[in-house]
Chain A
Amino acid sequence: MADSKAEVLQGTLDLIVLKTLHAIGPLHGYGIAVRIQQVSEDLLKLNQGTLYPALLRLEQKGWISSKWGVSENNRKAKFYSLTKSGQKQLAAETESWERMSAMIGRLLAGTGGA
């Protein structure tokens, strides 16, 4: 049970990170965490640390790349940016997500109507 929940979360987290980088461009870990909190309006409560294994995984898959840089307030930070294959992955995942949510939506609407 716990496993499947984590899986769902992992897939979702991947999508969110990719989308964030797509929308804003190169960003460091902290920036991504803040962005996620803003967008989810604190609904998605997660320890910010959990982001890092996910970032590493995405990097290993070749969807994002990382580079050390300097943050807006002159701090050394590692910046992540979307790669070409990351963009493709984002498009694919967005589409499948939309299809899925549309289906769930129809399903729920149908059940409600009956």
Chain B
Amino acid sequence: MSALRIFWSRLVRMLRCRRSDQEMDAEFDSHLEMLAETKMRSGMTKEEARRAARREFGGIEQTKESYRDQRSLAFLETLLQDTRLAARSLIKRPGFAFLAILTLALGIGVNTALFTVIHGVLFRPLPFPHPEQLVSIWEREVGEGKGDNVVAGGQFADWQQQSTSFAQMSVVGGDTANLSGDGGALPEAIRTRACSYTLFSLLGVQPIYGRNFSEQDDRDGATAAAVLSFPLWKRRYGSNPAVVGKKILLDSKPYIVIGVLPSWFDYPDTRAQLWLPVNHEVAPEDMHSRGNHRFSVTARLKSGVSIAQASNELDTIQQRIHERFPDAIAGRHARVVSLSENLVHDVRTSLYVLMGAVGCVLLIACLNVANLFVARAATRRKELAIRAALGGSRLRLVREQLTETLLLTFVGGVLGAALAYGGIDWLIAFRENLPRASSIHVDRVALLFTAAITLFSGIFSGLIPALSATRRQFFEPLRENSRSLIGSQSRAHLRKFLLTAEVALTVVLLVGAGLLLKSFAELRSVRMGCATENVLSMNLTLPEVKYPEPIQKSQFFEDLLGRVRRVPGVRAAGFVTAVPGTGQDEDNTFDVEGRAPLPPGQFLDAVVCGADPNYFQAMDVPVLRGRIYRDSDRRERENAIVVSESMAKKFFPNEDPLGKRVVVHWRGDPRFEIVGIVGDVLSQLDRLPEPTMYFPLNFGRFGYGSLVLRSTRDVTALALPIQQELANIDRDLAVSDVLTMEQVIGKSTATARFDAGLVLLFALLALLLAAVGLYALLSYLVTQRTGEIGIRIALGAQGASVMRLVLADGLRPITIGLVLGLIGGGISGQLIRAELFAVRPLDLTIFACVTLIVLAVSFLASFVPVFRASKCDPMVALRNQ
């Protein structure tokens, strides 16, 4: 309170500075006169009395000064003064100021941008009421799997019945559906989500129009109900509220639209466009199966229950299920994680790696600016010494320097914030698969962060030169003989130290960039096991209503493939349920006929995939042994399949799989004969090939998948004619994900490419800054030692030995920085190990490359100053001193 009052009174007085100065003068005058009068009364002359009065009063000017200090906000006044001075001195050297501001703006900008993203994605609470109570639940250790697994309907039902920790629980499953054209609109394949009726109420979301699902909707055989996402409602139904209550056709079945979700709702991602009640969509036997894992589970904890408690309870329940039903492939454990953690888990490391990189960039930027200021302080040594001699306090001189860097960083910070504003949009657009992107925006916290790092940068890069410039031998420069040969050693030491730190950080960045880049290259060069050039794929799903019988499905595919192959430009075409590299796959358990039954709880499990016989040839998947099933097989001997090489190796290690029969645990336990072995194909780029069984489409089980086409020409030009052929067969069918194989691979490597590219960009930036720093340091050293070099040359030193001398001076900090950086790079390599694919954190090639690059750049940067030193004319050098 009192402090505030003083501040106020001082502020007021400062604003009426002139008047109160007069008042002070008047008061002091009256004091002096009264004092003098007293003296005169005791017999002094007027003159004597005045002098005595002044003596007794003390130094009038000092008193006035300390009075003013007490009166005014002294710091504010000097601040204004310092700022004016700083601005003047910066404007005088626009190049220097421009360079420093640019460096800082870049450093602050990228840090702000990335912090905003991290804050939005990782730390901002989910947009639901009491987000801390929301959790995801996973089964763990299902079959041979080690980690989290999606949940089977049967487990969910058990959890719901037996657990007491949760207020509400919901399953969420995904699917694709054909939204039929109405009123002349084209049919369209959209992603749907099936959920329990509790989902929206547990999340605390109210539809903007209509209503939530009710228990009556969420039953087998209920009237079909659908809730629209905001984007679908806006795009497809022109934001018309009257669509609520209307009928739409999904996969040729009628649904009543009962509600529209709010625009901000993008859980679990932005792709979910339409919501359906799960018990209506999924067959009851699948909802009760303990082996059919297909759902993610979202739940709200009862208030007061911790995640750990809930996790313990569910784990106990799940262990019991696992023991009671050894025949079902139920997980051994269950785990509860917070919903926000679940959403962002995958991107956390990647974001932290980038944050580490931009942090390094900012540090390097600060070091560089500090270095520039140390260099400039060198030219101002004498000025500073004179000011110190005249009574300028060290504090004041330090403050002046700080004001200057703070002014620079302030401008840099404002520019950086602007940069960040644009940068964030760019980041969101180019960093694919970023969850929660809608929650990223510049807010108070982000601005506070910018302010904080701006202040930090200013103080960091200002304090080093300020303290060094005003250290110990303050008056040394005045004493320094103008013929001094040594120059200011301590300042050179400081600059070398700064350069060492800069180089070390640069090397860390280069190593990180190298590792990520190599990892990306490895990922790109992974052999998919199939053709990747001139391949186009597109998804489609046959509605169960229209194609209920296996024969209808296989008839459709036969018809489609026949028409597609006749389209001009198509070299080959096939149909497969899961396109390689997309990460989609489906697995199932099976037995090998004639083998002793496995002990309970153990299973043989492999990926199951439907493919038409021509798929293998169309995609260049080699037949290693035997043959592909033929269309005629169906008539001759019922079920022939082919298996992948890894399947043959894993399940038939010492025997010939050809001719073996397997029983797949589908309805009716169908029996299949293995007639061929084909090469492995990767379902995901960064995984080992999965053991796979390929089934003929005419087996009739598969009503979904992707058409794959190859062409000799630009394959994308085929997209339209193919869709026309499709419309000729069934005008309600729509395709989705029309992608070339390059795009499929590009999609799954996009994150790696983005991270590697960005870190590389930062590393190159850092390298450039370090090179500039080295160049400046060597130039400075050469100038400092001109006299010494002149004498050396005069005494007969050769150009080469002079070069060595100067070079050694500059390269020592580089070498130390390089070694420190390599150690740091080794450590950071360990930290980002999870992000690396097929690259060891201590990859020697990368470390060697980085060393070479840094040394090469250092030689380049030192070439000019070193050359200049060796060409130094001794006469000129000595005369100039």
Residues of chain A whose beta carbon lies under 8 Å from any beta carbon of chain B: 28-30, 33-34, 47-50, 52-53, 56-57, 59-62, 71, 73, 75-78
The answer to whether A47 touches B26 (Cβ under 8 A) is: no
The answer to whether A48 touches B30 (Cβ under 8 A) is: no
Is B59 close to A, CB under 8 A? yes
The answer to whether A73 touches B37 (Cβ under 8 A) is: yes
Shortest CB–CB separation between residue A81 and chain B, in angstroms?
A: 15
The answer to whether residues A30 and B58 also contact, given A57-B70, A76-B26 and a CB cut-off of 8 A, is: no
Q: List 16 A-B contacts (CB under 8 A).
A: A28-B30, A29-B27, A30-B34, A34-B38, A47-B59, A48-B31, A48-B35, A50-B58, A52-B27, A53-B70, A57-B70, A61-B2, A75-B30, A76-B26, A77-B31, A78-B30
The answer to whether residues A49 and B70 also contact, given A29-B27, A60-B5 and a CB cut-off of 8 A, is: no
Is B282 close to A, CB under 8 A? no
The answer to whether B27 touches A78 (Cβ under 8 A) is: yes
Distance between Cα atoms of A49 and B23 in the complex (Å): 15
The answer to whether A77 touches B27 (Cβ under 8 A) is: yes
Distance between Cα atoms of A48 and B52 in the complex (Å): 12
Distance between Cα atoms of A4 and B28 in the complex (Å): 28
The answer to whether B63 touches A50 (Cβ under 8 A) is: yes
Least CB separation from B66: chain A residue: A53
The answer to whether A77 touches B57 (Cβ under 8 A) is: no
Partner of A49, one of B9, B33, B63: B63
The answer to whether residues A77 and B67 also contact, given A49-B59, A60-B9 and a CB cut-off of 8 A, is: no
Shortest CB–CB separation between residue B224 and chain A, in angstroms?
A: 77
Given contacts A30-B30, A71-B30, A71-B34, 20 further A-B contacts (CB under 8 A): A29-B31, A30-B34, A47-B56, A47-B57, A47-B58, A48-B31, A48-B35, A48-B56, A48-B58, A49-B28, A49-B58, A49-B60, A50-B58, A52-B63, A60-B5, A60-B6, A62-B5, A73-B37, A77-B27, A77-B34
CB-defined contacts of B62 to chain A, threshold 8 Å: 49
* Residues of B within 8 A of A (CB-CB), count: 29
CB-defined contacts of B34 to chain A, threshold 8 Å: 28, 30, 71, 73, 75, 77
Is B10 close to A, CB under 8 A? yes
Least CB separation from A66: chain B residue: B27
Distance between Cα atoms of A52 and B70 in the complex (Å): 10
Shortest CB–CB separation between residue B220 and chain A, in angstroms?
A: 80
Within 8 A of A (CB), among B29-58: 30-31, 33-35, 37-38, 56-58
Least CB separation from B35: chain A residue: A30
Shortest CB–CB separation between residue B376 and chain A, in angstroms?
A: 34
Distance between Cα atoms of A78 and B67 in the complex (Å): 15
Least CB separation from B20: chain A residue: A56
Partner of A56, one of B5, B35, B60, B70: B70
CB-defined contacts of B332 to chain A, threshold 8 Å: none
Distance between Cα atoms of A39 and B730 in the complex (Å): 113
The answer to whether B28 touches A52 (Cβ under 8 A) is: yes
Distance between Cα atoms of A78 and B34 in the complex (Å): 12
Is B335 close to A, CB under 8 A? no
CB-defined contacts of A59 to chain B, threshold 8 Å: 9
B46-86 Cβ-contact flags toward A at 8 Å (1 or 0): 00000000001111101100110111000000000000000
Shortest CB–CB separation between residue B825 and chain A, in angstroms?
A: 49
CB-defined contacts of A33 to chain B, threshold 8 Å: 31
Least CB separation from A61: chain B residue: B2
Least CB separation from A73: chain B residue: B37
B2, B26, B28, B34 — most chain A CB neighbours (10 Å): B34
The answer to whether A52 touches B67 (Cβ under 8 A) is: yes
B1-21 Cβ-contact flags toward A at 8 Å (1 or 0): 010011001100000000000
Shortest CB–CB separation between residue A62 and chain B, in angstroms?
A: 6
Shortest CB–CB separation between residue B742 and chain A, in angstroms?
A: 74
Distance between Cα atoms of A55 and B276 in the complex (Å): 80
CB-defined contacts of A78 to chain B, threshold 8 Å: 23, 27, 30
The answer to whether residues A53 and B35 also contact, given A30-B30, A60-B10 and a CB cut-off of 8 A, is: no
Distance between Cα atoms of A52 and B56 in the complex (Å): 14
